Amino acid sequence: MVKTRKNVVMNRLQSAARLSRTVLAARLNGHGYYAGQDQIMLTLSHQDGQSPSELASRLGVRPPTITKTINRLQAQGVLEKRASPDDARQTHIFLTDAGRETIKAIEKSVKKTEKQALRGLDKKDQKALAKYLAKIEANLAGAISVEPEEDTEDEEAVPAKADGEVPAEA
């Protein structure tokens, strides 16, 4: 009997995610961007004028991280900060004309990376993969604020009683 490695699915998922970001980062670097900057740019291309906290929330990153990246993109001349018309203490982030011009290059890099990643998968497989990944995201989204479990053993590892029942304390 062949024994499969534990966590093979999670390892493959993490590896594929890491490799896709590495390949995309190399493509973006050719346009003068670093990994993560593309997400801010694309998010603003869909809804310009978000606050840094809105961007951080949408992208699932901490506000200090987003602020640092916004400042770098502003120095590159692709974003600008404007005071909120309602609250002068609040700023909103907008794409500049130069930023809007680079969106197509970013989208092209993303599309090329996706095409490379999905090579050999037909449309049906791609649709199934997207469905499975959405389910995985939904499963994990609720676990972000969950405290770490003390007992991380698999349920299968709990010894059964002689009659096949699982002990009550398990």
- Residue 20 in any domain: the answer is yes
State pTM to two decimals: 0.71
Q: What phi and psi values does residue 95 have, to the nearest 5 degrees?
A: -70, 140
**78-97 pLDDT tens trace:** 999 999 888 888 999 999 99
Share of the chain above pLDDT 70, in %: 81
The residues facing 79 across adjacent strands are: 95
CATH number at residue 40: 1.10.10.10
Q: What is the mean pLDDT of residues 42-49?
A: 95
How many other CB atoms are there within 10 angstroms of residue 46's CB atom? 9
- Residue 151 in any domain: the answer is no
Rounded CA separation 97/84 (Å): 20
**124-169 pLDDT tens trace:** 999 999 999 999 989 988 776 655 555 444 444 444 444 444 444 4
Domain range for 49 is 9-141
Report the domain count for the chain: 1
- Six token digits for residue 22: 């590495």
- Residue 112 in any domain: the answer is yes
Phi-psi region of 51 (alpha: psi -120 to 50; beta: other; left: phi over 0): beta
- Residue 150 in any domain: the answer is no
Q: What is the mean pLDDT of residues 53-61?
A: 91
pLDDT on residue 167: 43
Phi-psi region of 69 (alpha: psi -120 to 50; beta: other; left: phi over 0): alpha
